[in-house]
């Protein structure tokens, strides 16, 4: 019985390793409004975004238009790597918005971004 438990645990651990080792690369969004010069500049500059987790997503188009920051929703399965990456990204975007707009952006967003 002890051998069975040990082998089961070993199989479980080795099958779980690929999940924790995955790398998360967020999607870069591009602005498509304006003329060709603006589009070329937009391609060089990434659009900032908050990364949220969960099944339910809300419409944040007015926030995106006002502040130029989008909210991306991912599924609710979070690896430690994704969690850390989202937390760092969201803190950087929050710092950017606070520097540029003060604290008013928090009222307009109506959610608390992951990691803040």
- Terminal CA-CA length for the chain: 47
H helices of the chain, in order, are: 2-21, 36-44, 61-67, 80-101, 104-109
Categorise residue 84: left if φ over 0, alpha if ψ from -120 to 50, beta otherwise: alpha
Token output for 108: 């307009």
Check: CB of residue 47 under 8 Å from CB of residue 29: yes
Q: What is the mean pLDDT of residues 36-44?
A: 48
- Residue-wise pLDDT for 62-84, tens only, equals 888 889 898 888 887 888 888 89
Check: CB of residue 39 under 8 Å from CB of residue 31: yes
Q: Which residues pair with 50 in a beta bridge?
A: 71
* pLDDT value for 54: 79
- Bigger pLDDT: 67 or 37? 67
* pLDDT value for 57: 66
């Amino acid at each position: 019985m002890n051998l069975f438990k040990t082998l089961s645990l070993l199989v479980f651990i080795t099958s779980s390793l690929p999940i924790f080792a995955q790398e998360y690369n967020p999607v870069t969004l591009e602005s498509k409004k304006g003329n060709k010069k603006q589009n070329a500049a937009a391609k060089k500059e990434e659009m900032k975004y908050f990364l949220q987790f969960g099944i339910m997503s809300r419409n944040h188009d007015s926030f995106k238009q006002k502040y130029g920051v989008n909210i991306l929703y991912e599924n609710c399965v979070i690896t430690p790597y994704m969690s850390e990456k989202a937390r760092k990204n969201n803190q950087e975007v929050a710092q950017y918005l606070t520097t540029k707009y003060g604290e008013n952006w928090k009222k307009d967003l109506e959610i608390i971004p992951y990691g803040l």
